[in-house]
Amino acid sequence: MLAGDQILIGGVTLEAFLAFILALFAFLFLGNLAYMLIRRVMDGRVSHGTAKWAATITQYAIIIAGVYASASHLLAFDLKAVAASLGILGIVVAISSTQILQNILAGILITVNRPVNLDDWIIVGEWPATGLSKVRDISFTTTILQGLDGGLILMPNSNIIASKVVNYSRSGLREIQVSLSVPVSADLARVREIALAAALEDPLILSSHGPANRIGAQDLFDLPYIRRLRAERPDLARFDPIVHLASVTDGWIKLTIGVWIQKVSRKDEIASRFLGRVLERLQAEKIPVKAEVA
């Protein structure tokens, strides 16, 4: 469309339209540059989550403010007029974007309340349930988790807020249970002795009876987050390995061995090594056994 010697696009001159496109790319570049600079300055000085959110908010603020200012100056963009002209269409769009808004609000709540942080090990217990996963990224709408199998799980932020989330990084501890079944004729005292000895020999299994560096849980309960939840330290003996008699069925006695660990991400490795050590010693003493890991 021509107006005199000028080419118009929707009532805007071609020069103004091209200038707006250049400004758009410039503010996108500035936003990304600000993100990288803030991450470089803040990483290592504050938590990864705080650095990421500060950089992301600054990035979007620069882009949105820049695009709005460019559109207002170069394209004579009137936000009030556009909002009024949308009418029913705006209402429809707002309703259709309810889920997006919920996820954005949930992302803000996650940032403020910090139920999870980057690199936390968590389990989301409601649908869609996840296994033990590490928090890799938290964006405005999505939390990205990585399972022990290496797969990435894209979880809407609203699911994190609405679901039961077990945060093992915050607690710092997890219990592993191993079940053993031995014949009723077996020496239960000896079986218990073998199981507890195997646990005490593993440096990654907590015990108040081992060397000083074995009970790292002592310092854990001095952390500010844990101190807010408890008025005093718990009795650390409760985290010692323990053997319970669970049931007696068809000539077999089922025993449950509970041990506590801090290396949550290595739970399968620790449980497998512990179970293998117990089975090896029971078999060496000719004690029939059946086992399973809970």
Q: Per-residue confidence at 84, pLDDT binned at 50, 70, 90?
A: low
- Residue 194's pLDDT band, with cuts at 50, 70 and 90, is very high
- What are phi and psi for residue 46, nearest 5 degrees? -130, 175
Is residue 80's pLDDT more than 70?
A: no
Higher pLDDT, 17 or 193: 193
Task: Give the span between the Cα atoms of 76 and 22, in whole angstroms.
Answer: 16
Least Cα distance to 130 among 165, 171, 168 occurs for 165
Mean pLDDT score, 22-40: 87
pLDDT given at position 227: 47
User: CATH top-level class for 113-169?
Assistant: mainly beta
Mean pLDDT, to the nearest integer, of 163-175? 76
What dotted CATH number matches 172-293? 3.30.70.100
- Cis amide prior to 128 (ω within 30 degrees): yes
**What pLDDT, on the 0 to 100 scale, is given for residue 235?**
54
For residues 188-214, give the mean pLDDT: 78
Of 136 and 82, more confident: 136
Q: What are the domain boundaries of the chain?
A: 2-77, 113-169, 172-293
What pTM does this model have? 0.51
Q: What does the chain look like in DSSP terms, one character per residue? A: -EETTEEEETTEEHHHHHHHHHHHHHHHHHHHHHHHHHHHHHBTTB-HHHHHHHHHHHHHHHHHHHHHHHHHHHS---HHHHHHHHTHHHHHHHHHTHHHHHHHHHHHHHHHH-SS-TT-EEEE-SSSP--SEEEEEE-SSEEEEEETTS-EEEEEHHHHHHS-EEEHHHH--EEEEEEEEEETTS-HHHHHHHHHHHHHH-TTB--TTS-GGG-THHHHTTSHHHHHH-SS---GGGGS-EEEEEEEETTEEEEEEEEEES-GGGHHHHHHHHHHHHHHHHHHTT---EEEE-
127 close to 153: Cβ distance less than 8 angstroms: no
The answer to whether the beta carbons of residues 145 and 135 sit under 8 Å apart is yes
